[in-house]
Each structure stands twice: as C-alpha cells, then as structure tokens.
Structure 1
C-alpha cells in the first residue's frame, strides 16, 4: 500500500482501483449467480432459507434486528442512513478523484459510471447477504466473526463442490483476492489523500507560504506517504486486538458533517465565505468527534470499543442526525458573520472618508 501511494501516485492508485472494480464486480456477480442457481432461480426460496438460517425467524425481514425497535433506535437507524448517503460520497480519497479528470464532461461521465457500478454492486450484495444467511447460517457466521465480516468468504466455500475440490478452491481464492485488493486500493487511496493534504496544505502553504516548487511538493508528498503508512502500521499493531470498526463510522460521519456542507455551500451558495468554510469543516468534524467519543459505539454495549466501560451519554451509534445539521449551521453562521464584518468595515471606511473629505478637497485646492 505504501509503495502504491508513494511511487504510483494518483495514477497508480487509480489503476489499482480499476483492477479492483473489475475483480469485485466479476467475482460478486459469479457468487450471486451461483446463489440463485442453488435455489433454482427462485428469489422467494432464497428469502425463506435466509429467514430460517438467520435464527431470527420473521424478524429477519423487519427493521430493528440490529439496532433495536425503540424510538431512539429508529432515530439511530435514520441517522446511519443519512450518514452513509452523505459521508461515503464525500470522503477525501473519493472526492480527490474528481480533480484527476481532464474536464467537466469527463467528471460527469465518471460519476455516471460510478453511480451505475455502485448500484449494481449493492444489488449483488443483497443477493450475497441473503445467500450467506441461507447457506451458511448466522450461527456459523457469528462464530467466525461476531460482525459477520467473513460471511462472503464462508459463502464462497459453501457454494463449491465440496471441501478440497477445484471449484471450491478457485472460488474461495477469487473472493479472498477480491477482498485483499479492495482493502489494498482503499487504504492506498486514503494514504495518498492524507499525504497530499499534508504536503499541499501544511508544507506548501503553511510552511513555505505558497513558495514551494511543484516538484518539491511532489517529493514531500511521496515521503509523507511513507511516513503515514509507517504510522498506520505501528498503530494497527498496537490495536490489533481491539474492535476499531467504529473508526469507519467516524470517518463517514466526518465526511457527512464537515466535507458535505462545505461542498454543498461551495457549489450552490454564492454567499459562502472562507470563514463559513472553516466553520463547517472544523465545527462539523469537532461535533462528530465529540459525539462519537461518548456514543454507544465506543462504550456501554458488548459490541463497543470498550465493552467493559460505560461513559456514553449520546444514545446513538451514528452522529449524523446531529452533526450533519450542525455542520451546515456552522457554515451558514460563519458566512453570515463574515458578511456582517465586511459590511461594518465598509461603513467605517465610508464614515472616515466622509469625515476627512472636506479637508482632502481643501488641500487639493
């Protein structure tokens, strides 16, 4: 991952992303076809088997099986949907791809392909998820991983001709390779995004005051990729026994609460100012961080990061329902305050000019 980010740059990570899409869609489509073929292409039979294999009975098709059915749990579900919709599309390692396109029509074509690809993959995920519940069963899935992250691999093994057969080995290896290259491309993209931000914003503009040469900035970005990757490896070794899946939720929450308001205002509001931009970025990110630190995802539940501690006061696992409006509000308030400050400064300048106008004209005469 470090090599791809440091040496390949945006082109190298884009290449691995394209390879990932081909393998991901191809392997997922093959698994989905095998699932439907196992049940004679009868979706109703798949759903019946999934309901039975889930161990939840009729509740398998009802909302609340994961988060609960209380009013707060339903709000948490809505918050999660809002966060995923806004946050996943605004993550820095995704939005930076838009700047690598040649022109605006190329960006639009890329987004059209991205929407179609993501939609297709989501449909395939539904088939694979119900297939895993039907053919593997929740008891075996949760025994391997309480969060079910190995369910697709277990499904590919269950769809084979039997343990040790060529078909089972090939299908399992293809799915494992797809999972690996997906993680490789995602983390390489995030490493490159972090390194580019540090090299461009911190080094080129904060340290060098905008006087850094492009070649120097690229060199700094490459070495920063190495530093970010090494730091990530060190941190992952330290927390390898922790359940840090909450970091993924946190990243999406920050994207929805900080980046989404900044992009929306920048595109559709001419009155958006630099102060509003900083307010939405810092305010939305800070709100998401504080709420997530004291949420049920970090403490207070068996699936939390600290299951044996309880210091939560925010009753949800996703912060989007609160932090997203806060980010938009912070951006609006910041822009309005800057407009008022500019108006006050303009009026003060006009008053000073009017007070000295007669003296200036007299001196000119």
Structure 2
C-alpha cells in the first residue's frame, strides 16, 4: 500500500468525528439518570437493534475475521458462526427477562431478590473487569490500524493515536450519554455494513459474480490450497488445538449473553417486545455482515495473496485494507480506515458508558450511599468515572499495543460467560438461588478465568505471548472457557446448596411474574 494517502485517510475520519460530535451535541438531553444511562427507554426495536450491531461489531469482526478467512478459510469463518449464534441465547433466555426485571444495569437483575450491597458490588467488579479487558483490546487495535493504514510505525505515534481515540470516546460519553452514544453506534453500523456490501459487490463483479471462481482463485494463492475449504487448517493439528477451538467457541457463543455493554442496551427500549425485536434486528443485520466477510476474506486471498497479507504490518488484520486498496485505490482505503476507526470509537464509547454506569449506579449509589444517592449525583459520579476509565484504558492499550489483540477479545467473552451468564440464568430461572450462590458464581468465574489466563500461553511461553521472554504457563489452552464457564455454574450451584439466607419468597415471586409478564417494570 505504498500509494496510500494518510492525509486522505485522516480527512475522511475527521469528517466522521465532526459530524457525529455535532449530532451527539444536538441530541443530548441527559437531564435525568434515566436519560443518561438508558436514553429514557425511547428507542424502537429497529433502532436499538442496529445500535446493538454497532456496539457488537468491533474492529476484530471487520478486520480480524476477514483476515482469518483469507488465511485459514473454513476455520476462520467459524469465528463468525460463534459470534452470531450467541445472539440466540440472548433472544431465547435473556433479553425479555432482563428488560422486565432491571432498570439501568445487570446489577439491578442480580440483586432484585438478593442482599443488595454485596451482590451489586460483585456485579460492578465483574462489569469493570470485562469492560477493561474488552476496551484495551479495542484501544490496542487502534494502534495497529495506525501502523497499517496511516503509515505511522513508531510506538510513540501509535500511543498518541490511542490517546486521541480514548479522549474522543470520553467526550462522546460525557456529552451525549446513552442517547448520543446510541446514535453514534447506529451511524457506525450503517457505515460498516455499507462498506462491507460495496466491497462485496466490487469483488464479485471482478469474478463475474461467481463465488465459485472467487474461491478457486483464493485457493490458488493460498499455500494451503483447497484445504481452506474444509475444517482443520488452523484447529486440526492436534487434539489439544481442537479442544482449544471448542473452548473458544464456548466462550463466543455463551459470552454474548454476558457482555455488560450488550445487556445494558436492552434498557434503552420501552418494553420487552421491543427488546426482542432489538435482538432480531441485530441478528439479521450481523448475519448479512458476516456473509459479506466470507466474500471479503476469500477475495483478499484471491487478489492480494496470503503471503502478502501475512507479510503486511498488521498480519491477518491487513486483509481487508489490502483488498480495499487493490479494488478501490486510496479512496476506498480511506473509507476503510474511517470505518475501522469509527468501529473502535463506537465500541469503546459503549464500553465506557456501561462501566461508568455500573460503578455509579451499583457501587456508589447502592453500596457506598446505601441507596440514598440522588439521580444527579449518580450521573455526576458516572461522568467522573468515565474520565478515569478512559485514562486507564488508554494506558492499558498502550501497554499491550501490538500484542495478542485477537486473544484479548476472545478473553473478554470468556470473562463475560464465566462471571455473568451463570448468575443471570440462575437468578432468572432458579427459585432457590440465593446471595451466597450469586457471589460464588461471580467471583468463582472471574477468579478461575483470570488464574487460567495468567498461566496460559496468552501471557507467557509462546512467541506471540504478552511476555514472550519468560515461560510460566502450565495451562495449555489460549482460551479458558471450557474450564471456567462450567466452574462458574458449579460454584453458583454449590454456594446455593450449602445454604445461607434464602431470598425473600415474596420478592422471588414478584421477580418471576415481572420477568415473564413485564408487570411492574419501568
């Protein structure tokens, strides 16, 4: 991409930033806590579904999956399936019940019939941990994109861009709250899907609108040949690699229903019907997008070649930008750069809002102030928290810049499934579930996931580890989901069966009726 124009790339991205900041300023009306945290619950199912897609489709989906398909073919596309199937869990088990039972955060649901202070504190810890892991992956992704798309190769230059992205996301959150952030995510989703559709149409046109011809050319320019059309190119080397893929798939499928920034979006609609419609819209939107990534991935292999992709600064992540430059020159590359940055910006803004809302609403208002905090003070604390989270994520992104970005995204899903899914399902569907079970489930899932990650090849013992120069890894899998997720369910069950104060039967009955019917929900 020697002919790429960094000035053009930044100009296109600058136009996006100016327009969206103006929109955020115009629509911002965060006069109450409900407005700031949940946009007053005034978005329709279609609007919220597209925003969900914008919140969920990170740079890893656009760049990472296309690159994985270009290099590994069938095995790369399995990432798309995992990301998409997870929404069925949301649709069938979580969305409606969560909207009916809670108000602003996941902690509202978990603490509904439990002891408020310890459960809300645990929910806040879980949300902050998951959001931080997810966020530093996005911030580090911004640094990688700079090297690839804007011809900035120095670590200091990439650090400056990570800082700029972090500052922008804080501005979006502080000014617009949930309403402004939602509109940014809607615009970003529209840009991302339009870009994917345009590249897909251009690609198919180059091969006479024959997917067969495109895939044949992709196999010819891939060292694996026709092996990319069958399972095993990446995860079939040994029984351990197959188990690693099972672990990753489990995390991707079950983690979606535990991601705090996804769960919080169900409170921006007025009722459970719109919550279900949100999931349907999000699922359909993302299904179309992931089909486009299949064409883009094989198209990148066919036109750019696998060797060129792996030899580029971003490795697999360079597939989509290389393809855009091959078929549309600097203009299309500039659009891809803008879309990639917009993707990171929208996702980290949603994560920042979720983390700050959980700290302000769950920890400050209900743990520190024991439920006596006013709505204005909650919003004020949330805004200060957003500043702290922004600064922390900038530092974390700089520290892990260029290191295991794909691992970090998958790990965020593992943390979400391990800490949140078991306690959510138990709270909604098991009448006997109590406070001890909730705490054991959350902390057991979090601690086991963190322990296994620290002593896995993600951190040490491998050339692409965060600390490649040392080796203290004894857990062989790169994703701990196959162990930590069942362990979380087991901890929640054992903690409950061991006894302790049982939840109030009247509150349990109220939660059951409310979650199923919506009676009494705000």
Compute the TM-score of the two structures, normalised by the length of structure 1: 0.87
Please state if 1:134 is matched with 2:302.
Answer: yes
Task: Work out whether residues 246 and 305 of structure 1, in 8 Å CA contact, stay in contact via their aligned partners in 2.
Answer: no
Choose between structure 1 and 2 for higher RCO, CA contacts under 8 A separated by at least 6 residues.
2
Distance 1:106 1:4, change over 3 A: same
For residues 44-88 of structure 1, the C-alpha deviation after alignment (integer angstroms, 9 at most, x for no partner) is 111111122222223323333334421111111111111111113
Note the 1:88-99 alignment, pairs <5 A.
88-99=256-267
Selected match of 1:51 from 219, 243, 266? 219
Contact 2:403 2:465 survives alignment (8 Å): no
Deviation at 1:25, TM superposition (A): 0.8
Match of 2:283 among 112, 115, 127: 115
Alignment of 1:135-284 (within 5 A): 135-145=303-313, 147-160=315-328, 168-240=329-401, 242-284=403-445
Q: Deviations over 1:12-42 (max 9, x none)?
A: 1111110111111111011111111111111
- 3-state DSSP class of the match of 2:461? coil
Seen in structure 2, the aligned counterparts of structure 1 residues 56 and 308 have a Cα distance that, compared at 3 Å, is farther
Partner of 1:256, secondary structure, is helix
The answer (yes or no) to whether the contact 1:16–1:185 under 8 Å persists in 2 is yes
Partner of 2:451: 290
Deviation digits for residues 165-203 of structure 1, max 9, x if unmatched?
xxx233222221111111001011111111111112221
Deviation at 1:338, TM superposition (A): 2.9
Give the Å deviation of 1:321: 0.8
Alignment check: 8 A CA contact 2:404 2:458 kept: no
Question: Aligned-residue CA RMSD in angstroms?
Answer: 1.8
Deviations 1:100-130 (A, max 9, x none): 2111111011111011111111111111111
Separation (CA, whole Å) in 2 of partners of 1:143 and 1:88: 32
Correspondence 1:334 to 2:487: no
Structure 2 unaligned regions, length at least 5: 1-168, 504-522
Structure 1 unaligned blocks of 5 or more: 161-167, 344-365
Measure the CA separation in 2 of the matches of 1:60 and 1:176: 28
Residue matched to 1:363:
none
Which stretch shows the higher mean deviation, 180-189 or 65-74? 65-74
Task: Tell me if the contact between 1:7 and 1:222 (Cα under 8 Å) persists in the aligned partners.
Answer: no
The answer on 1:299 being equivalent to 2:299 is no
Shift of 1:301: 2.0
CA–CA separation in structure 2 for the residues paired with 1:251 and 1:310: 23
SS, match of residue 231 in structure 2 = coil
* Cα distance in structure 2, aligned partners of 1:80 and 1:242: 18
Structure 2 CA distance for partners of 1:306 and 1:244, relative to 1, 3 Å = farther
C-alpha separation in 2, matches of 1:77 and 1:327: 20
Answer with 50-59 or 29-38: which moved more. Answer: 50-59
Aligned to 1:35: 203
* CA spacing shift, 1:342–1:81, aligned 2, 3 Å: closer
Q: Write out per-residue CA displacement over residues 322-358 of structure 1, whole angstroms, 9 at most, x where no aligned residue.
A: 111111111111222236x659xxxxxxxxxxxxxxx
Q: Which moved more, 1:282-291 or 1:259-268?
A: 259-268
Task: Decide which moves more: 13-22 or 245-254.
Answer: 245-254
Please say which of residues 55-64 and 80-89 is displaced more in the overlay: 55-64
Verify: 1:15 aligned to 2:183, yes or no. Answer: yes
Cα distance change on mapping 1:48 and 1:241 into 2, 3 Å = closer
Corresponding position of 1:321: 482
Provide the C-alpha distance between the structure 1 equivalents of 2:499 and 2:338, rounded to a whole number of angstroms.
52
